[in-house]
Structure 1
Amino acid sequence: MKGYWESDSLMFIGSKGVTYGYKATYNRYMTTYDSPEKMGQLKFTLLHVNPLAKGVYQVVGKWQLTRTVGDIGGYYTLLFRFIGGRWVIICDHTS
């Protein structure tokens, strides 16, 4: 979660709907991946990086989670913005 914007304006969109805010997004992750078996080994494959505006990028990729309770995977779109001297994820749409 270190790469995410620590703001109430952070947006995460997943199969269960939209989650707003850093704390709510963090809690969602902790609930979904609450054991080492569910966390597994995460791999990202970068497919596309697109500059949208000064200080804003769109990143598209594929994710694969290998774990003992069953492998899962899908695609993601991230919006990065340069805030406070660093790049942070302001929106994560993962399916």
Structure 2
Amino acid sequence: MRQCIILMAIVAFRGLTPANAQQAEVTRIKALMEQQTKAWNEGNLAGFMDTYWVSDSLMFIGKKGITYGWQATLDNYKKSYPDKTAMGHLSFNLLEFKKLAADVYFVIGKWHLARTIGDLSGHFTIVLRKINGQWKIIADHSS
């Protein structure tokens, strides 16, 4: 009887291994990135920005340097991509996921914009932090 209880406990807790917990977080981050591309491809910059930390401490690093803050980042996106033609169709290729802490991930990927006015592409690194139970991008370096 005791062996049966131990076996049942092992089976019950098998799904809670650190590797499975980490995979669950990676799955959540992938879903966040899918949410981001869906919003972008609908022409919804505000929805795209829902994945970012709403804070003056948000950092976006691009070819023009560092932009601090959620609103300033959104304003830059609006200037650079004023309409659906400029926005095109966004896709990501997520290459690496590195867990830095229980609530912090570092992600490396490629981005591609298919546009009638000429495609754009590059790489990005993002730092995500779990804030109030949700993953948010706290730093984005896109080139």
1:42 maps onto 2:90 in alignment: yes
CA distance in 2, matches of 1:32, 1:84: 31
Q: 1:18 corresponds to which letter in structure 2?
A: I
1:1-95 matches, within 5 Å, as: 1-95=49-143
| Structure number with larger C-alpha Rg | 2
Indicate the SS of the match to 1:63. Answer: strand
Deviations 1:42-63 (A, max 9, x none): 0000000000112000000000
Structure 1 residue 35 displacement after superposition: 1.3
Indicate the SS of the match to 1:24. Answer: helix
Where in structure 1 are there 5+ consecutive unaligned residues? none
Runs of 4+ in 1 over 4 A off after TM superposition: none
Higher-helix-fraction structure = 2
CA distance in 1, matches of 2:95, 2:112: 13
TM-score by length of 2: 0.66
Identity level (%)? 53
Aligned to 2:4: none
Q: How many residues are treated as equivalent by the alignment? A: 95
Indicate the SS of the match to 2:57. Answer: coil
TM-score by length of 1: 0.98
Structure 1 residue 27 displacement after superposition: 0.3
Higher-strand-fraction structure = 1
